[in-house]
Structure 1
Amino acid sequence: MAGNKLVTIKGTRDGLTLFLNDQCSWDDILLELEEILSAKHMMQEEHVVSVKVELGNRYITKEQEERLAALIRKYNKLEVGQIVSNVMLRKEALKWKEETDIHLYNKIVRSGQVLQVKGDLLLVGDVNPGGRIIATGNIFVMGNLRGIAHAGFDGNRDAIIAASHMAPSQLRIAEMINRADKMDEEGTPMECGLIDADGEQIIMDRISVISRYRSDLDVFERRIMNG
């Protein structure tokens, strides 16, 4: 189904997607959307249909969002499933940047010390026994990992831990723990730890096969190349 220049409606496998023109007034958008939704040929739906709203380069307030959702719910058993905008507030952008940045440290984390970051951690140095490193994202240690490493601290089970020399006293990813008694006491060079495909345990593998498990980590490479 297609509307005119202000509102375009497209049917998808998951429901409907509304594309709202971002170059006109919000009131004009709502008026036209109500005309389309109230049209007689739209009244045949008998089941609840999920609606995704694409705002383009437009930011709307919570009040505008609630008004839009109420208008959509008014007709045809439609329910807003997602509202997507290309625009975010500065506060949201700074939070996203913090959580997705790679934080680089050149130091030794000694016994009793804790290094914690939001996002990915790249440590050029060692983590001594009794030292602890924590990240909400992935952890990369360019040195000896002999202490405790906790990746995916906020629940990210896709996080990984990689080290030039892997001999930790404990690895943690999200809520899962792999203790030292399950690892080679001498440690292993160029190894990584991650949660297996079944989500039941932390497994160890060669660092060279990370791409097999986490193909999205090419983002890490692009960030380094782009400075």
Structure 2
Amino acid sequence: MLEENQSITIKGTKDGLTLFINDRGSFEDVMKELGDKLSEYNPKKDEPVVPMTVKLGDRYINERQKQQLRELIGGKNRFTIDFFDSNVIHRDEALTWKENSDVKVINRMVRSGQVLENVGDLLLIGDVNPGGRVVTTGNVFIMGNLFGIAHAGSNGDREAIIAASYMKPSQLRIADYISRAPDYETEGVYMECGLIDEGQDKIVIDRLQVLSHKRKGISGFERRILNG
């Protein structure tokens, strides 16, 4: 995309503009070249604002540098940055991503009055007794009996699911949805899951096998749980 000795290239797309920034030159050189290019552009005040995606390749820029780009590209120009696309993330962001994407395996029983909280997906090998509660930002997998409360997607993830070997919960929660009425049979169900059905606008109980169809982003770990 970038010609030799060029720090930046701007391409038009059907969604707006894409700004490609060479990841080898200095940020100061990039800003100077971009400023020179933008100085040739004199938009009229009534022109529509054009969205721009900034592709950084293997370059990492901090929040101060992002703000500098926003001010230079916005300014008197009719552009706005919609998205920064980089192959590189900060160490803290990587650690957060790892924490959120890892499956935490815990072998214990959650008794009445106890609360087990987790970040990311949780695999609990044990029972959740009546009065016990499990809360996680990701999915909940229980290899045991779920009699208490399970809350998946506690940070607002409506794609999260709750699965259990035997499901007869006192309450299911996914994101901001709460299952107050038992959609499951009175005697409970084996190897099923709870998930949000957008069409019905509620939590429903279904067979584990439906996850590969209803949750296309299901991970390899979850596939092993389903398929053995």
Q: How many residue pairs align between the two structures? A: 223
The whole-number CA distance in structure 2 between the counterparts of 1:182 and 1:218 is 26
Structure 2, unpaired ranges of 5+: none
Larger proportion of helix: 1
The whole-number CA distance in structure 1 between the counterparts of 2:78 and 2:200 is 37
The 10-residue stretch of structure 1 (20-29 or 84-93) with the greater mean CA deviation from structure 2: 84-93
> Any idea what the Cα deviations from partners look like across 1:129-177, whole Å, max 9, x if unmatched?
1111111011011111111000010111111001111111110001111
One-letter identity of the residue aligned with 1:35: D
Residue 58 of structure 1 deviates from its aligned partner by 1.5
Residue 51 of structure 1 deviates from its aligned partner by 0.8
CA contact under 8 A between 2:10 and 2:19: conserved in structure 1?
A: yes
> Any idea what the Cα deviations from partners look like across 1:22-55, whole Å, max 9, x if unmatched?
1011111112112222335x74892100111111
- How many percent of aligned residue pairs carry the same amino acid? 53
Q: Match of 2:178?
A: 177
> Any idea what the Cα deviations from partners look like across 1:96-119, whole Å, max 9, x if unmatched?
211221110111111111111000
The whole-number CA distance in structure 1 between the counterparts of 2:26 and 2:224 is 38
The whole-number CA distance in structure 2 between the counterparts of 1:143 and 1:209 is 20
Q: Match of 2:203?
A: 202
Q: Match of 1:55?
A: 56
One-letter identity of the residue aligned with 1:113: Q
The 10-residue stretch of structure 1 (169-178 or 213-222) with the greater mean CA deviation from structure 2: 213-222
Q: Match of 1:98?
A: 99
One-letter identity of the residue aligned with 2:139: N
The question of 1:216 aligning with 2:217 is answered: yes
Tell me the SS of whatever aligns to 1:36.
helix
Q: Match of 1:165?
A: 166
The whole-number CA distance in structure 2 between the counterparts of 1:23 and 1:199 is 51
CA contact under 8 A between 2:194 and 2:203: conserved in structure 1?
A: yes
The whole-number CA distance in structure 2 between the counterparts of 1:82 and 1:112 is 45
Q: Match of 1:69?
A: 70
CA contact under 8 A between 1:150 and 1:174: conserved in structure 2?
A: yes
Which aligned runs of 4 or more in structure 1 are off by greater than 6 angstroms?
1-4
CA contact under 8 A between 2:2 and 2:20: conserved in structure 1?
A: no
The 10-residue stretch of structure 1 (81-90 or 163-172) with the greater mean CA deviation from structure 2: 81-90
69 and 204 in structure 1: CA distance in 2 versus 1, 3 angstrom threshold: same
Q: 1:28-177 to 2 correspondence within 5 Å?
A: 28-40=29-41, 43=43, 46-177=47-178
One-letter identity of the residue aligned with 1:6: S
TM-score by length of 1: 0.89
CA contact under 8 A between 2:108 and 2:126: conserved in structure 1?
A: yes
Structure 1, unpaired ranges of 5+: none
The whole-number CA distance in structure 1 between the counterparts of 2:70 and 2:174 is 38
> Any idea what the Cα deviations from partners look like across 1:166-204, whole Å, max 9, x if unmatched?
111110001111125443221101111111123710011
The whole-number CA distance in structure 2 between the counterparts of 1:90 and 1:162 is 32
The whole-number CA distance in structure 1 between the counterparts of 2:29 and 2:224 is 41
> Any idea what the Cα deviations from partners look like across 1:68-92, whole Å, max 9, x if unmatched?
1111113540011112222222222
Tell me the SS of whatever aligns to 1:66.
helix
